[in-house]
Amino acid sequence: MANRAPRRKRRKQKQEKAFEAKQISTRRPFLFFALAGLLLAGVPVRLSSLDRSLWLDEAWVANSIQSASLYQSFYYDHWLQTTPPLFITISRLITNLFGTSNIAFRALPALAGIASILLFSVVALRLLKPSYAMTAILLFVFNPRLILYSQSLKQYSTDVFSTVSFMVLGHMYMERRTDRWFYALLAGFMALSFLAYPTILFFPFLLYAAVARFAVRPDTGVDRRTVYRIGLRLALAVAAGCFVGAINYWFFIQPNKSPALVEFFLEGFHQGGSMSEFLKFYGRRLLTVPGMLFFGGPGPLPFVGVLIVFMGFLYPWLRRTTLPDLENSGAAILLALPIAGSIALNLLGMFPLPGFDHRLLVFVFPTLVLAFALGLQHLARLACDFIASRIESFKTMTGENVVGATVFAGTAILGLLAYSSVGLQPYFAEEREDSEQAVAYLAQRVQANDVLYVHSSMREQFRLYSRTTPVNAGRIVYGKVGMPCCPRNDYRSPAQESLIDIADEVAPLAEASNSGSLWLLMTDRPLHWFEMRRNDIEIFERGLARASCARTGQARLAGVYAARFGCKPK
């Protein structure tokens, strides 16, 4: 008697799947063309701006890639290397084969972004009903942050790729349940861990997969062969987790840590206090989840978004028919691990949690959008079940599919309106620096007796592009004030600098340029100076004016200040 309820539940699920398969076959042409359209549309938007200039956070990664040896790339002299080792290795290979153009530098993130679309579609179509899967794919393909990071020389696109890759391997293992797929999962975990550090968060799923295949019952006993296979799998999983964790930490993370880097992310950790402050800290972080799904801002929408996502995380657990229900339990674990693991590591003081809309946590986005679509699907099912209980002729499955199609169509229309009116430029504008054009501008105009001052905010960009476009100045002065986080050596936080420190850097420039012109090269990104809580361009101009130096020319470039000053001899 006790087993009848789970059996009835499994029988009902099989009937639902058969009905869904019949409906999918009738709608297959529409689904095929819609899916193909989404996939094809996702490619050009991830290739549209590959050739723009690299900005500060990309430039130091590019310089490290161009180091003389792989060892120097991993331990870049001028900057703390926070990029995973496999990302650096593959990028060096690409630039060795195709040169050091902006496109070549960004080739790996772009390829990872395109591949992520295909892999995410595989997971979505396995986990969701077709119309809800299409909604999830739509949100994934046209998410502005994913598009931006697919065209940025940073590891965030490969972080997303690693998440969806492991999820595909996990779902393939849960479907096949063979030793071959377990070892493929194990190998994938190890390789992806060196490409994206957050892959280690999937380690609990690896342990689950090591034992989940075997139906062990106390009343029937366990044969020795089964015990041996479980023990071997667990030993290999633990060894793999310990190996990649130790290698990544001791050889790549620990040598690239500093007190300045820890202080930079200090706001991403709870600093103690009462239980109410603790709940407020993590509550605010959870409310940033809808911001990745276009539900951010004031009002009730963030709370609604969080509720739907929470229902999506809960849904696979509710679908389990028995405790060892491998497919639904595995899906639930895969969905929950990135966000639950991030919070757990943050509680341990090992991983910052500035907010789930921050680029550091973009790797959780695939699971968030899947949970959101699952939550919508579950809500639609509950609503349709309620209507069917009141109206006998109403078919739950048909109503659920109509709701899903309506949500997909509405999301597509809203997205089209947003892209046609706003576009992607606001997202790219925050990181827009025409540094390559600025260096070319200086190379054409700076004379042999001129002095060029390179602000610390443009040091890495100047080093990158002056390799191919040298600037023949009589003297090049690299600034020390206003330095962004985090150089490897001699770093001083801008918050510790005073106006006197800046004045001490300005004064020698006027004296050094008596025989020629003085050129200034600084970043002019508004977000940079907003975070610095000052504007060195204005401070330098006032200081030079007091030293009888007048601005005689300026380049009109996005995100870069390149100006010429003439100083009266004293």
Query: Quick one: pLDDT at residue 26?
Result: 44
Tens digits of residue pLDDT in 205-244: 999 999 876 655 555 556 788 888 889 999 999 999 999 9
136 has a pLDDT exceeding 50: yes
CA neighbor of 116 nearest in space, from 59, 196, 60 = 196
For residues 124 and 492, the model is more confident at 124
* Contact indicator for 357, 287 with CB cutoff of 8 Å: no
Confidence of residue 14 (pLDDT cuts 50, 70, 90): low
Which ranges of 201-323 would DSSP assign to H, the alpha helix?
A: 203-212, 224-247, 259-264, 275-286, 301-318
- Encode pLDDT of 145-165 as tens digits: 999 999 999 999 999 999 999
> Helix crossing, 203-212 with 179-195: angle to 10°?
170
24 has pLDDT over 60: no
Q: How confident is the model at residue 335 (pLDDT cuts 50, 70, 90)?
A: very high
**What's residue 323's pLDDT?**
44
pLDDT in tens, 450-500: 999 999 999 999 999 999 999 999 999 999 999 888 888 888 888 888 888
H helix and E strand count, the chain: 24, 5
CA separation, residue 201 to residues 166, 207, 247, 344 (Å)? 11, 12, 16, 10
Residue 531: other Cβ atoms inside 10 A = 10
pTM of the model: 0.91
- H helical segments located in 473-569: 499-512, 526-532, 536-546
Q: Tell me the C-alpha distance between 75 and 82, whole Å.
A: 10
Residue 102 CA to chain centroid, in angstroms? 20
Average pLDDT on 338-353 reads: 94
Which helix (H) or strand (E) segment holds residue 566: the answer is: strand 560-567
Q: Say how many CA atoms lie within 13 Å of 144 toward its Cβ.
A: 19
Say whether 344 sits in a helix, a strand or coil: helix
Residue 9 has pLDDT above 70, yes or no: no
User: Which pLDDT band holds residue 35 (cuts at 50, 70, 90)?
Assistant: confident
Q: Coil, helix or strand for 63? A: helix
Q: What is the pLDDT of residue 523?
A: 96
Q: Which residues pair with 567 in a beta bridge?
A: 549
**pLDDT (average), residues 138-145:** 93
Buried b (16+ CB within 10 A) or exposed e, 429-455: eebbbbbbbbbbbbbeebeeebbbbbb
CA–CA separation, 153 and 294 (whole Å): 25
Residue-wise pLDDT tens digits, 412-429: 898 888 888 877 787 888
In Å, how far are 105, 117, 136, 447 from 32, measured between CA atoms? 34, 15, 15, 61
- Residue of higher predicted confidence among 495 and 440: 440
Q: What does the pLDDT read at residue 297? A: 58
Lowest mean pLDDT among 20-24, 100-104, 194-198, 262-266: 20-24
525: nearest Cα among 471, 461, 441? 461
Alpha carbon 465 to its chain centroid, in Å, reads: 26
Residues 532-561: pLDDT tens digits?
889 999 999 999 999 889 999 999 899 999
CA distance 482 to 494: 5
* Long-range contacts of residues 6-10, Cβ cutoff 8 Å, at least 24 apart: 6/321, 6/322, 9/321, 10/321
Helix (H) or strand (E) holding 565: strand 560-567
Distance CA 383, CA 507 (A): 71
Rounded mean pLDDT, 240-251: 97
The stretch 314-341 carries a mean pLDDT of 77
Q: How many CB atoms lie within 10 A of CB 523?
A: 26
Question: CA-to-CA distance for 382 and 397, rounded, in angstroms?
Answer: 11
